[in-house]
């Protein structure tokens, strides 16, 4: 019965229907019995199905088949190169290519994309350049798929110049090639070149829109993300999950609640709200906009809660002032499959700092490595300094920097600045004086730390020291970064910078503020 089926059906079609290893072996056994295993067109499809399957036993069997073959061809070598790379075995993919050349087989345009990807995974620029030379020698430098793989390789190695030369030399550039080049610039933070290419694109799909939005999001130009999304809507392009994540992240950072809620509604209508990455972005957006109940509601609806979603809600609860709830969520998290990571502890330490839960924070810090296997990094040590300093335990904070942070804190202005700010709050001029002198010796004091030091000395009556810092401020002519407020009005995000009158309605706003001040004065 089986033989009749094989006889009446192509080997390629039948191989694709294999669901179990036994079925695969049955087809292979038939090929062996009928001597068809010596025919590349017969064994090739079977090998392809086995090598590119997600099933570990299938791939192991594919290796066994390949090693036993007497007759091989370029297709079979390509299959094994691709299979090894897809299964995160890049070294074996490279070795397979070397065997292919040693056996006298010539590569084709299907050989190079997975091989170049292997070089990217291995982060081996030297071998990647060698493969590029082979691409040129064998005449595939103008193939769009090979070119796309090379551009992605050079972009990952931060060599945008080589990537751009390749891109400019390609005679036929499809939307994939344009998008790969834009993504390369985006990952380098070069949004100017990324946007110039995007504007030149003859056609754009949703992936291209998503790529340029992600580029702007990386450099925190969130207003541009919103503008691009509006333009995309006017062009009639339907957003995918990646676009919605970028826009939701932008809404979170701009405080654009109305726009964020519209995104949430759209995601629900199109059944995209189940995407865990988008749901996590929504949790973050609602938290930053102060709508904690909505953030918790979205979080509870996430079916498979990973570390990122737990981190978002723990951090969100913390920034909204409910430190106890934040720690409670952390305790729930450690009981699930999602393990806490570096970001988790930053969120929990922030919660402990705001609630003055010093002992709890210190205890968790000691447990990070021993209990949870997370090695404390710079930001975790900085959190401990801030925790101790804000609680008024200034001497402990100073000793923590000196004894526990080592190279982390020796020359870090932010850590010492946090301690200096606490000295100002608690009026500790002795420690504040030592911190200021250390900052001055490091030559990293900015306008904020200098003003803090001046106030500490002035309030303590140390007039000579205060005059010295005051003179330093005047001589350095450091410009303080102006304050900025972001408001959402009728779904439009407006930005107001202190002292800036460039807003088209600046005079009307000014008159309204004067009117409000007048009413407030009358009420008093």
Selection from 314, 305, 309 nearest residue 281 by Cα: 309
pLDDT of 4: 40
Q: Which residues pair with 487 in a beta bridge?
A: 494
Phi and psi, residue 487, nearest 5°: -125, 150
Q: What value, to the nearest 5°, has the Cα angle with vertex 145 and ends 240 and 184?
A: 60
Q: Is 3 exposed, middle or buried (0-12, 13-18, 19+ CB in 10 A)?
A: exposed
Buried b (16+ CB within 10 A) or exposed e, 453-471: bbebbbebebeebbeebbe
Give the C-alpha separation, 15 to 10, whole Å.
9
Give the C-alpha separation, 95 to 92, whole Å.
5
Phi and psi, residue 40, nearest 5°: -55, -35
Selection from 277, 191, 204 nearest residue 237 by Cα: 204
Q: What value, to the nearest 5°, has the Cα angle with vertex 281 and ends 277 and 284?
A: 140
Selection from 71, 150, 161, 145 nearest residue 118 by Cα: 150
pLDDT of 171: 86
Q: What value, to the nearest 5°, has the Cα angle with vertex 329 and ends 323 and 333?
A: 145
pLDDT of 500: 63
**Residuewise pLDDT in 10s, the chain (524 residues):** 344 444 434 555 556 666 667 777 777 777 777 765 556 666 777 788 788 877 777 888 888 888 888 788 899 999 999 999 998 899 999 999 999 999 999 999 999 999 999 998 888 888 899 999 999 999 998 898 899 899 989 988 888 999 999 999 988 888 989 999 999 999 999 999 999 999 999 999 999 999 999 999 999 999 999 999 999 999 999 999 999 999 999 999 998 999 999 999 999 999 888 889 999 999 999 999 999 999 999 999 998 899 999 999 999 998 888 888 998 999 999 998 888 999 999 999 988 988 888 999 999 999 999 999 999 888 898 889 889 988 889 899 888 888 877 655 455 677 777 888 888 888 888 888 888 888 777 665 566 777 888 888 888 888 888 888 787 777 665 555 555 565 555 555 566 666 666 667 777 777 777 777 677 656 55
Selection from 292, 298, 223 nearest residue 254 by Cα: 223
Selection from 328, 398, 400 nearest residue 357 by Cα: 328
Give the C-alpha separation, 60 to 449, whole Å.
62
pLDDT of 129: 92
């Amino acid at each position: 019965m089986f033989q009749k089926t094989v006889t009446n059906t192509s080997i390629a079609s039948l191989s694709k229907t294999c669901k179990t290893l036994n079925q695969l072996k049955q087809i292979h056994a038939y090929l062996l019995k009928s001597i068809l295993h010596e025919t590349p067109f017969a064994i090739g499809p079977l090998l392809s199905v086995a090598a590119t399957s997600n099933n570990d036993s299938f791939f192991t069997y594919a290796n066994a088949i390949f090693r036993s073959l007497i007759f091989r061809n370029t297709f079979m070598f390509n299959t094994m190169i691709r299979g090894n790379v897809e299964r995160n075995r890049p070294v074996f993919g490279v070795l397979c290519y070397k065997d292919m050349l040693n056996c006298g087989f010539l590569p084709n345009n299907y050989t190079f994309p997975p091989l170049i990807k292997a070089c990217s995974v291995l982060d081996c620029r030297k071998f990647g350049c060698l493969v590029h030379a082979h691409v040129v020698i064998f005449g595939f430098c103008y193939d769009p798929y090979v070119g796309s793989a090379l551009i992605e390789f050079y972009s990952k190695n931060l060599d945008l110049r080589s990537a751009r030369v390749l891109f400019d030399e390609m005679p036929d550039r499809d939307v994939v090639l344009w998008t790969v080049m834009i993504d390369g610039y985006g990952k380098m933070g070069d949004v100017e070149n990324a946007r110039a290419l995007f504007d030149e694109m003859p056609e754009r799909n949703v992936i291209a829109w998503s790529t340029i939005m992600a580029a702007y999001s990386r450099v925190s130009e969130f207003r541009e993300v919103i503008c691009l999304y509006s333009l995309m809507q006017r062009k009639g392009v339907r957003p995918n999950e990646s676009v919605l994540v970028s826009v939701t992240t932008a809404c979170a950072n701009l405080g654009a609640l109305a726009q964020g809620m519209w995104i949430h509604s759209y995601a629900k209508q199109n059944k995209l709200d189940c995407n865990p990455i988008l749901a996590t972005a929504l949790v973050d957006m609602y938290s930053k906009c102060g709508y904690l109940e909505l953030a918790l509601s979205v979080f509870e609806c996430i079916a498979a809660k990973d570390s990122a979603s737990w981190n978002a809600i723990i951090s969100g609860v913390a920034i909204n002032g409910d430190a106890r709830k934040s720690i409670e969520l952390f305790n729930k998290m450690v009981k699930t499959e999602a393990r806490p990571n570096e970001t988790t502890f930053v969120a929990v330490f922030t919660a402990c700092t705001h609630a003055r839960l010093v002992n709890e924070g210190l205890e968790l810090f000691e447990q990070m490595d021993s209990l949870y296997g997370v090695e404390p990094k710079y930001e975790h040590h900085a959190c401990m300094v801030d925790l101790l300093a804000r609680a008024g335990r200034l001497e402990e904070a100073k000793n923590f920097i000196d004894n526990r942070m080592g190279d982390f804190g020796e020359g870090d202005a932010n850590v010492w600045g946090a301690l200096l700010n606490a000295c100002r709050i608690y009026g500790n001029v002795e420690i504040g004086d030592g911190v200021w002198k250390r900052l001055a010796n490091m030559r990293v004091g900015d306008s904020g730390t200098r003003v803090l030091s001046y106030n500490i000395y002035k309030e303590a009556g140390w007039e000579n020291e205060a005059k010295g810092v005051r003179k330093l401020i005047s001589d350095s002519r450091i410009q303080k970064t102006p304050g900025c407020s972001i408001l959402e009005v009728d779904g439009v995000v407006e930005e107001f910078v202190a002292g800036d009158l460039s807003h088209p309605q600046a005079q009307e706003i000014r008159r309204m503020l004067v009117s409000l001040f007048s009413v407030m004065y009358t009420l008093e």
